[in-house]
Amino acid sequence: MPKFFVRWLVTALAIVLASYLMPGVQFDSSFTLIMAALVLGLLNTIVRPILIVLTFPITMISLGIFLLVVNAVTLWLTASIVPGFTIEGSSYIWAALLITIISWFINLFIRKEERQEYRH
């Protein structure tokens, strides 16, 4: 399966898990979830690198902690673009942290399997 679809599914799974773990993260339907995962993936590919470059000095001063704000901004943009995907109140930073950790953890296993496939 192409990497794009795998990452899309991982992002969707991370959003689902975040919605179960955090009451402030909600989506109306499966279609909304799929669209939110697609938009978040596109924003992470296009907008997030630009934000990282623009905020590099602040990120260095904060020892990387400011990246949580960058992730929260991309999540806020996603919720603004996709109707039916909502994040309430100050949950953006916590949701961004949770989605990042879940995605990282799932991708860790996917990359491990990919490395094992190349060895055989």
For residue range 2-52, list pLDDT tens digits in order. Answer: 777 888 888 888 899 988 988 889 999 999 999 999 999 899 889 999 999
Residue 75 burial (CB < 10 Å; 0-12/13-18/19+)?
buried
Each domain of the chain, given as residue ranges in start order, spans 12-113
The secondary element (H helix, E strand) that includes residue 27 is strand 25-27
Start-to-end C-alpha separation, the chain:
18
Contacts (Cβ under 8 Å, ≥6 apart) of 25:
15, 18, 19, 86, 87, 91, 95
28-to-7, 31, 56, 82, 102 alpha-carbon distances in Å: 22, 8, 35, 11, 21
Q: Is the pTM of this model over 0.85?
A: no
